[in-house]
Structure 1
Amino acid sequence: MAHQFVDSSAISSSPGPVADAQRLVILDILRGFALWGILLMNIEWFNRPVSEIGQWDESQQGLSLAAGWFVRLFIEGKFYTLFSLLFGMGFAIMLRHGKATGRDYFAWFSRRLTVLFLFGLLHLVFLWSGDILHSYAMAGFILLGMVWLFDKGYLQDLHRPHNQLRVALWWLGAPSVLLLLAALLFSTQDTGNQHEQDWQYEQAVEARAKLLMSGATPMPVDENSTELSEPELLELDARLRAEELKQNALELEQEIQALGQGTFLQASAFRLQQATAEFPFSLINILLAIFPLFLLGYALQGSGMIENYQRYSRVWKLLCCGGIGIGLPLSLWALILMQAPRFELDSWLGAVAYSLYYLSQYVLSAGYLGGLLWLCSQPRWLARLSGLAAMGKMALTHYLTHSLVLSLLFFGYGLGWYGQVDRAWQLLIALALLICQLLISPWWLTYFQFGPLEWLWRCLTYKAWQPFRRLKPKMD
């Protein structure tokens, strides 16, 4: 490939997007690679309720069960992490480009993030409630605010890339590590017999709650009494659990009805309602996961390690071997714990499993990043993987195209495949769509400078009509 690095001396001083000659092609390759994993994970949630994310599909068997294990072990959460890192890296490049042009970077990047937020909001309401773009936009505003503070002379210690790396890694790892330590500490405070008794009690509550849901006659309990027997306490806990299960089942049925059988307007109204209810949890995810990943990507780009990635091939090889060598066993261990009979009712076991699983996502994602950078630092592998660059250059268009195509295949206002396609066939559909995009992308970029949505994003960001078609070379 002709352009592997960004030459800061070559950055144009004229307003407008980063030119082809100024693009860091390795980022486009990484984006193209990330798109594959994102679709292989996301397609399941066009066929199942998004509210069940993180839960196993117990109906899968044979090849479909194997496909589910494959996605959860190798893909789920790992490519989302990689894509977030890449956003932070791209932020750093565009910010440097904006400063070099002499424009007010805060104003134009605020417009860029605002447009991204609107894209995400439209995507969330009219196509798919699993949208990540609006969260990226909000996390981007936090990162933009941090850079603005740097320029005003604040947070100078954090201005250094190595300090940003340290803070980002602690920010990412601390919640999972603290949860894991708390769960382990709790387990040491609880005797084996007591823990066994607690689990048996939870089993009894769950069984009684399911009986109540199926129409069993409630046992009379004087709820005003201060001295209740153990059976009476169990009955009260079972009633609460039954109400919780009924509410969950009702919400699940509403989602299935709206998406699997509803009209476009009904599905859109449901997605808007769901997004509003989930907004507080989105903010938590932005603060605990997305922003520190942006900061980590910003720091990696600022350190020069990505721009000059070929100089660090040994580092990338070590990161690849360490990340995959540690991340895969962690992920497998966590998934095995999640399959344990006690997992649903044992809060200590659940805390351990989820902590290990989230940590494995970061570690394995680092292994994937290191592996791809290590391969691309070798000319023969760079040539082999260069086909991903065209996909990566059109990442926004491809990401939203995934949702458009899959919503028309699965939802009730389309072909109505919702809930009818097993996991193995889902992966085949995703692979077919990705191969089409892999083939179409270089053809499209032969005639156009950007993907259609990338072009629209730039026009709205710069408040000017950007060139779209490529000029045909003159014939001698």
Structure 2
Amino acid sequence: MPRSDHLHPLDPGARLQSADAVRGFALFGVLLVNMFNFGAYSPEWTGTLDQTFNAAMHAVFETKSWRLFAMLFGFGFALQLAKVESLGGANLWFYFRRITILLVIGMGHALFYDGDILMEYALLGYILPAFRRLAAGTLLALTLLLMFAFPVGNVVDSLREASAPIEADASLSLAELRHNHPYLGTLGDVFETNAEVIPPRLWNELNEPESSFAIFAMILLGFQIGRSRLVHDAARHTKNWRSILRWGIATGLAFAAFEWYLSHYHGYAAFEGNTASMAIRFLGDLMFLFGSTALALAFAAGILLLAEQGKWNTLLSLLQSLGRMGLTIYLSGTLMFTLLFYGYGFGQLYLLGPVATTAYAVVFFTVQIIFSIWWLRFFRYGPVEWIWRCLTYLEVQPLRIPASGGSPATANRRGRP
């Protein structure tokens, strides 16, 4: 049986560039949604432009971005597993060590930002191998079942309350939130506050739209997409991706429009402040659940189809550079927006509305694009990715690109992300 030390890192030039482009797109959505958590969500921003930007963020990025991110995690696992099993299947130690390192990175990140997703991905990643041999139909059925935990769980909660309407929570005003918030204190205050989320409680709030059940459902879906090789052989499956694009856009937009109607005329809200009846909330939850999933798949399909056409290479190369060093980009986004919002930085916590927050997100993302393009001219991996690989393989990996070696970004498009 092959020895585990036969596993070696994939050459960066052998990556699936189309998958990297999808990841790059998802990274902007994750950055934007994370930044909205620091005041831009508030209903106190009543200006027409602010409300328009808030609605656009919700329609295009909210939930869709993390769904794409979770799918890509499952997709990457499918490719890693294929590599491991090609060497005899006795190398899962490699996968578990990789996941453990990701967990540690996530714990460090969570000290700065309590919305970290890396820890949850890592903990769910520990149980993912148990599902790797399920048939495609069984895996998709399980995915659907996990997704329904959100709307069905809310119905159960409503029944426990004797069918009483769900009252809106009394939210604090922005003025109150700006007063003595721990994030406006020292770095130690921030760490002390955020340490409470380490490790994440996977069993909490399982009926929420972004619960562990929902995340694991997307991971399983991405795993099945990886096994099907729809992305690897995208040119052969153009018809499938076009069907996904058409279905995703039509379904996603229709469901989003209906959700908007329920929100504005019946008091529905996917996250908080819900005043709708149980029946309306269940219907709205279904619209939000399947609409956001459909749009996430449509975004991925659209990017994959553009990548196959070739004429979009210049634009997609910007997203690909971000996707190749996705972990570095994700963490650097937190570094930038915490410096903007926290007290040890510029102290803008709860002071920026949707328009200003979006503008800063675009500026930060532009900086990340410029940095990633520059960095990858000289180095094989992003800085955090390089550390992750060194620890995973228990040896120092080559980082700098040889002067005569050319850029790996122009090499073969096959491989794992």
Structure 2 counterpart of 1:317: 242
Superposed displacement of residue 278, structure 1: 5.7
Equivalent residue for 2:17, pick from 21, 25, 49: 25
Aligned to 1:233: none
In 2, are the aligned partners of 1:26 and 1:389 still within 8 Å (CA)?
Answer: yes
Structure 1 residue corresponding to 2:275, chosen from 322, 330, 345: 345
Write the distance in 1 (CA, Å) between the matches of 2:399 and 2:227: 30
Distance 1:423 1:263, change over 3 A: same
Q: Contact conserved, 1:397 with 1:452, CA < 8 A, in 2?
A: yes
Amino acid at match of 2:340: L
**Cα 1:276–1:114, aligned 2, differ >3 Å: closer, same or farther?**
closer
Q: Comparing 27-36 with 273-282, which one deviates more in the overlay?
A: 273-282
Give the alignment partner of residue 82 of structure 2, picking from 88, 96, 101. 96
Aligned partner of 2:193 among 242, 245, 270: 270
Residue correspondence of structure 1 range 283-294 to structure 2 within 5 A = 287-294=212-219
CA gap of 1:342–1:391, structure 2 versus 1, over 3 A, is closer
Corresponding residue for 1:298?
A: 223
Which structure has the bigger radius of gyration?
A: 1
Give structure 1 stretches of 5+ with no counterpart: 1-12, 49-54, 151-157, 207-243
Q: Which residue of 2 aligns with 1:175?
A: 149
Residue pair 2:24, 2:326 contacting (<8 A) in 1 also: yes
Asked if 1:117 is matched to 2:103, the reply is yes
> What is the alpha-carbon root mean square deviation over aligned residues?
3.2
Distance 1:278 1:257, change over 3 A: farther
Which structure 2 residues correspond to residues 97-176 of structure 1 after superposition, within 5 A?
Answer: 97-101=83-87, 104-125=90-111, 127-147=112-132, 150=133, 158=134, 160-168=135-143, 170-176=144-150
| 1:413 maps onto 2:354 in alignment | no
Aligned mates of 1:474, 1:412 — CA distance in 2: 45
- Report if the CA contact (8 A) 1:176-1:359 is conserved: no
Shift of 1:142: 1.2
Whole-angstrom CA distance in 2 between matches of 1:119 and 1:441: 20
Instruction: Supply the distance in 2 between the matched residues of 1:253 and 1:271 (Cα, whole angstroms).
Output: 20
Which residue in 1 is equivalent to 2:414? none
Asked if the contact 1:411–1:418 (Cα under 8 Å) also holds between the matched residues in 2, the reply is yes
Structure 2 CA distance, aligned partners of 1:63 and 1:254? 23
Contact 1:161-1:300 at 8 Å conserved across structures = no
Matched, 1:332 2:257: yes
Alignment match, 1:221: none
- TM-score using structure 1 length: 0.74
- SS at structure 1 position matched to 2:391: helix
SS at match of 1:310: coil
What is the CA–CA distance in structure 2 between the aligned matches of 1:459 and 1:102, rounded to whole Å? Answer: 23
**TM-superposed deviation, 1:365:** 0.9
**Number of corresponding residues:** 391
Q: Report what 1:457 is aligned to.
A: 388
Deviations 1:255-303 (A, max 9, x none): 9633442211112111122556865427775641122211111111111
Write the distance in 2 (CA, Å) between the matches of 1:342 and 1:361: 19
Tell me the distance in 2 between the aligned counterparts of 1:341 and 1:295: 34
Aligned match of 1:386 = 317
1:253 positional shift: 5.9
Q: What residue ranges of structure 2 are gaps of 5+ in the alignment?
A: 269-273, 407-417
Contact kept in structure 2, 1:255 and 1:270, CA below 8 Å:
no
Q: Which residue of 2 aligns with 1:257?
A: 180
Question: What is the SS of the residue equivalent to 2:359?
Answer: helix
- In structure 2, the residue matched to 1:357 is 288
Distance in 2, matches of 1:255 and 1:319, equals 44
CA distance in 2, matches of 1:18, 1:27: 15
Structure 2 residue identity aligned to 1:98? V
Task: Indicate how the Cα distance of structure 1 residues 307 and 445 shifts in structure 2: closer, same or farther if over 3 A, else same.
Answer: same
> Does 2:63 align with 1:77?
yes
- Alpha-carbon shift at residue 81 of structure 1 (Å): 0.4
Aligned to 1:36: 28
Is 1:57 the counterpart of 2:56? The answer is no
Note the C-alpha offset of 1:124: 0.8
Instruction: Quote the residue 1:373 is aligned against.
Output: 304
Q: Given that residues 151 and 285 in structure 2 are in contact (C-alpha distance below 8 angstroms), is that contact kept between their aligned partners in structure 1?
A: no
- Counterparts of 2:328 and 2:311 in 1: how far apart (Å)? 29
How many Å separate the matches in 2 of 1:296 and 1:458?
25
- In the TM superposition, what whole-angstrom CA distance separates every residue of 1:193-249 from its partner, at most 9, and x where no partner exists? xx9xx77xx98xx9xxxxxxxxxxxxxxxxxxxxxxxxxxxxxxxxxxxxx85xx75
Instruction: Report if the CA contact (8 A) 2:114-2:194 is conserved.
Output: yes
CA contact (8 A) 1:128 1:403 kept: yes
1:437 and 1:472 mapped to 2: Cα distance? 24
Which position in structure 2 is the counterpart of 1:225? Answer: none
| Residue 443 (1) aligns with residue 399 (2) | no
Distance 1:455 1:276, change over 3 A: closer
Cα contact 1:88–1:295 (8 A) shared by 2: yes
Q: 2:110 & 2:298 partners in 1: Cα distance?
A: 31
Structure 2 vs 1, CA of residues 262 and 162 (structure 1 numbering), >3 Å: closer, same or farther? same
TM-score normalised by structure 2 residue count: 0.84
